[in-house]
Amino acid sequence: MFKDGEHLIRLAAVFALGLAAFVILRAAVVPRSFGQYGHYRGAAIAEIASRPIALAGHVTCESCHSDIADQKKLGKHVVVACEACHGALAAHAEDPTSVQPKKLDTAVVCARCHEANSAKPKWFPQVATADHSGGIACDTCHQPHRPKIETGKSETAKTEAEGKK
C-alpha cells in the first residue's frame, strides 16, 4: 500500500513545501504592526501623525486676511475653504513674509468646479469655458471671492437682503 501510494506522499510533500514557502514569505513581507488596530498597518498612524502639517485652515487665513473673509461672506463662496483654491499654505501661515503663495491662474482653477458637465446638478453654476470666456482669466470679469456679477441692484440693497435671510 505504502509503495503504491508513494507518488501521493510526494505530492503531499510538494503541497507542504508550497505551504511552508507561503508561511515563510508571509512572515517576511507582512509588516509587524499589521492588524494591531484593524485591517491595516498599525505603525501607519504614527507615521502619518509625524508628517508636517500642510493645511493652515480657514480660521488661520482669516485672522490676517479679514478683508477677504468679509468679501466672501457676501457671496456663495463663503462655503469654500481658502485652501481649496489656493492650495495647502501652512508654511505661509508660519512665515508669511518669506513664503509667498503663487498667484492663481483663474482660467484653470475656476474651471475645476465650474466647467459644464451634464452630471452636475442644474442649479450649480457651470459654463463651457471655451465658449464662455475663450481662455481669458475668470477674474477679468468676476471677483473670485464673491463671483456673482451684480447688475441693477445696489450693493447695499443686496447686502440687506442677504442679511435678512
22 is written with which cell numbers? 507561503
Alpha-carbon distance of 2 to 10, in angstroms, equals: 12
Please report, as residue ranges, which positions from 27 to 46 form the binding site for other proteins (by CB under 8 A): 29-30, 34-35, 39
Please report, as residue ranges, which positions from 121 to 160 form the binding site for other proteins (by CB under 8 A): 121
The yes or no reply on residue 120 touching other proteins (CB under 8 A) is: yes
The yes or no reply on residue 3 touching other proteins (CB under 8 A) is: yes
Q: Which of 108, 115, 106 is nearest to 141 (CA)?
A: 106
Choosing from 50, 97, 98, 117, the residue that interacts with other proteins (CB under 8 A) is: 117
CB of 37 to other proteins, least distance (A): 14
The yes or no reply on residue 8 touching other proteins (CB under 8 A) is: yes
Stretch touching other proteins by CB under 8 A, among 75-83, 119-127, 134-142, 146-154: 119-127
Per DSSP, the chain holds a count of helices (H) and strands (E) of: 9, 0
